[in-house]
Amino acid sequence: MQIDNPNSLANSWQGLSLFNGSEERVLIGKDWEKLNLGFNGSNVGSFISSTSAFSGELNWLVFKIETSGDVANENAYLWLNPDPAVEPNTSSSDVSGQVQINGGFDRIVCHLGNTAGISSSFDEIRLGYSFNQVTQPETVTTIQPQTTNGEYFRIHHQGDELVIAYGSSTDSDAQLRLLNMNGTCLYHKNLYFEKGIHRQSVDLGNLSLQKGVYIVSIINEDGAYSQKIIR
């Protein structure tokens, strides 16, 4: 999430909310009249971090709700830009508090309000039952039809290493590209895929990538395959 509030106006809200019907149960981001990032637990209270909401930087927010299964409030935790390779402990969260969301939620709303000249940007929203599901999801995004002859690709990212698993019915040339969310190519490499099932590793350690979301794209004569990764 990226917040643009150039005049550092507190009398506004900017963030992502979980709604149940018409009721807003949780706001994650910049709460009304608050100066720092955090979350509002609806009828429970507002819980604020020490990170300014007015830095203009892109932040990766991870929000966890421990559902209780009863009428009691749920414990909630917010991390700002945690290491995606290691699941953080709740004790290390930037903000902790409670939310009242026993009935669940049926809508996700990205919104802001009350002040002209502000904006909020969201490059991706992920939901999961575990930290691993939101950092290494099994689903992928295909920009074009993946292939026409039964080929497949799967990309696994860990640390500075990209592991590409692929199956090909023929020998073929391909190109690997790494792009940021603005579409700028940060790295490219020509690859050669042999017939059969194989794995290749690509070391990205020399790129000094900042934390964020990136797109890995593999292009060959049959199409383009794309997958997002979080660093």
Predicted pLDDT at 78 = 97
Assigned domain for 143 exists: no
Do 156 and 124 share a structural domain?
Answer: no
pTM over 0.75: no
Do 123 and 83 share a structural domain?
Answer: yes
Predicted pLDDT at 98 = 94
Q: Domain end: 109, 135, 161, which one? A: 135
Domain membership of residue 194 as a residue range: 152-230
Predicted pLDDT at 143 = 36
Q: Which CATH number goes with the domain that contains 187?
A: 2.60.40.3080
Do 15 and 122 share a structural domain?
Answer: yes
Q: Domain end: 103, 135, 167, which one? A: 135
Assigned domain for 144 exists: no
The stretches in the chain having pLDDT less than 50 are 139-150
Predicted pLDDT at 90 = 95
| Model pLDDT for residues 140-159, shown as the tens digit of each residue | 443 333 443 445 667 777 77
Predicted pLDDT at 141 = 41
> What is the rounded distance in angstroms from the CA atom of residue 121 to the CA atom of residue 127?
18
Q: How many domains does the chain have?
A: 2
Do 156 and 119 share a structural domain?
Answer: no
Buried b (16+ CB within 10 A) or exposed e, 76-111: bbbbbbbebeeebeeeebbbbbbbbbeeebeeeeee
Assigned domain for 209 exists: yes
Predicted pLDDT at 177 = 86
